[in-house]
Structure 1
Amino acid sequence: MMQVCLNGPRTTADSAAVPMTPAALAEAARQAVAAGADDVHVHPKTPCGRDSLSPRVVGPVLEAIRAVVDVPVGVTTGAWAEPAPPPPPEGRGRQPDPRVERIRSWTVLPDHASVNWHESGAEDVAATLVERGVGVEAGLWSGTDGVARFARSPLAPRVLRVLAEVTDTRVGSAPATARELLAAVAAVPHGRPVLLHGWDGGAWPVLRLAVELGLDTRMGIEDTLLLPDGSPAAGNAPLIRAATAGLRPAGGG
């Protein structure tokens, strides 16, 4: 499976190729699916470019994308998209994660949503998604305690898939970091499919490793702004075309 990650936390300050509005995201998704993507991951954004979990932001993005593609569409639940309020005064108890209330308020549901397991409140966020019938992508980042937390989670066997996310952005070492992360993930008895991907300098080396190992993977503007030859990508579709070229058998058309 090849997932396209349309924008991530990036904005047009990073590149003019970053789609921001529902219409731009829908067109980017349409082109990426035509280029070979099987699944869409998107960060719905406010008009000022901030990631948001508000139903007034999430709903229009999902509707716009679904109007032009017939593949699963998922969103982020990253903690930065709904900043937690200041901690309550001592003795007042734990504040509920604001992401939980946002998810409960969604009027249009995504097919799946990613949950970064190293983030505070991840378990509550994932449980709320499951309650609403939304598939959970368990984001396990290298360099964090996400795998250890996931190993203790009763939700581990119930997630849609595991995202093995390599935060090492160095071209030379990212594949080795990926193998270490995969070994840690394999030690957890979750029984779910694994999608492996990297970021920035590690994006293409890790994608090639995922193809070599026969794992699901992803590519798009969230993960890198550059094509394999180092030239700037004009959008998500060229990245997906380059990524899916590596999936074709040798000598294939």
Structure 2
Amino acid sequence: MTALQAALNGDSVHPAVPRTPDEIAADAAACVAAGANLFHLHAFDDDGRESLDGEHVGRVLRAVRAACPGTPLNVTTFAEIEPDVDRRFRLVSAWTELPDLVAANQGEDGIDELGETLAARGVAVEACLLSVDDARRFVRSPRISSFARVVVEPLVGDPQAALDLAAEIEDVVVAAGVTLEQLHHGVGAASWDVIRRAALRGHGVRVGLEDLDTLPDGSAATSNADLVAAAAEIVAASRRA
């Protein structure tokens, strides 16, 4: 099954972005109905700030698992949420409620130790590649086989530049003989171009209000489920092509 990951929240200011556990769970259920089969989640504290604290992460995981049983849940380990490397490691290492996967940005300080610690506890790790340098670093890793998938993230707003970067990152990965499943996503106006390219190549895709707030025709998206439904149609059309 092709992965269709819904990125529900993050630091987006869209009014439909869910932040409380109950909001995230309800939104996740709507996205499953629209075609999502994987989630990328950010937890928030009681003041609405993104958090890596185990209490807040656990609340989100329990709520979404109750609403979407059996759907794999990926939680961010994004360094911008907690820039202090040691504190981030302590927070994540202390999680008692564990996600199925984590997103591990390969260019961040301390990410190898963080990924190894979570993998040892049975959490799958996505290798997130935001640049060609990230890709080159990743393919030199002796731990490639321990990753669940590669996430190609050309996070530039210009559509052609995003497509070019996605191709460059993918070329580095493929040339190194890495056969892990790939999942691709962009940001803003470039997102749909990146999704179409990835779908035609048989890769998984990610969509959600964390990444963009417009539908393929340029109209405003009112919900994550709107975006997931549009991505699901692109994936289905690519299979018919």
Q: TM-score, normalised by structure 1?
A: 0.89
Choose the corresponding residue for 1:97, options 86, 111, 116. 86
User: What are the within-5 Å matches in structure 2 for residues 122-161 of structure 1?
Assistant: 122-142=111-131, 145-161=133-149
Question: How far does residue 190 in structure 1 lie from its aligned partner after superposition?
Answer: 3.5
Paired residues of 1:123 and 1:153 also in contact (CA < 8 A): no
More displaced, 212-221 or 174-183?
174-183
Larger radius of gyration: 1
Shift of 1:151: 2.0
Structure 1 pair 251/37, CA: closer, same or farther in 2 (3 Å)?
closer
Letter in 1 for 2:53: S
Inter-partner Cα distance in structure 1 for 2:155 and 2:128: 11
Asked if the contact 2:199/2:238 (under 8 Å) is kept, the reply is no
> Of Structure 1 and Structure 2, which has the larger fraction of its residues in helix?
2
- Would you say 1:219 and 2:207 are equivalent positions? yes
CA shift, 1:187, in A, is 2.5
Alpha carbons of structure 1 residues 246 and 185: separation in structure 2 relative to 1, 3 Å? same
Once residues 41 and 250 of structure 1 are traced to their aligned partners in structure 2, the CA distance between those partners, rounded to angstroms, is 23
Residue 6 of structure 2 is matched in structure 1 by 4
Deviation at 1:120, TM superposition (A): 0.8
Q: Tell me, yes or no, if the aligned pair for 2:200 and 2:238 is still in contact at 8 Å.
A: no
Cα distance in 2 for partners of 1:155, 1:251 equals: 32
In 1, the alpha carbon distance for the partners of 2:143 and 2:238 equals: 39
Stretches of structure 1 that go unaligned for 5 or more consecutive residues are: 85-95
Question: What is the SS of the residue equivalent to 1:64?
Answer: helix
- Residue 60 of structure 2 corresponds to residue 58 of structure 1: no
Aligned residue for 1:73?
Answer: 73
How far apart are the structure 1 equivalents of 2:239 and 2:109? Answer: 48
Deviation track 1:54-110 (CA, whole Å, cap 9, x = no partner) reads 0111000000000110210110001112220xxxxxxxxxxx632222222111000
Name the count of aligned residue pairs. 237
The alignment-based identity, stated in percent, is 39
Query: Residue 138 of structure 1 contacts residue 162 of structure 1 at CA under 8 Å; is this kept in 2?
Result: yes
Distance 1:250 1:132, change over 3 A: closer
Does 1:181 pair with 2:172?
Answer: no
Kindly provide the amino acid, as one letter, of the partner of residue 15 in structure 1.
Answer: H
In the alignment, the residues of structure 2 paired with residue 250 and residue 101 of structure 1 have an alpha-carbon distance, to the nearest angstrom, of 43
Please say if residues 100 and 128 of structure 1, whose CA atoms lie closer than 8 Å, have aligned partners that are also in contact.
no
In structure 2, how many angstroms separate the alpha carbons of the residues matched to 1:37 and 1:217?
10
SS state at 2:51 partner: coil
What CA RMSD, in Å, does the superposition of the two structures yield over aligned residues? 1.7
- Give CA deviations for 1:5-45 in whole Å, capped at 9, x if unaligned: 111222xxx21011111111101100001100010111111
Partners of 2:14 and 2:209 within 8 A in 1:
no
**Deviation, structure 1 residue 50:** 2.2
CA 2–181 in structure 1, closer or farther in 2 if over 3 Å, else same: same
Q: Which amino acid aligns with 1:58?
A: V
Asked if structure 2 preserves the Cα contact closer than 8 Å seen for 1:51 and 1:80, the reply is: no
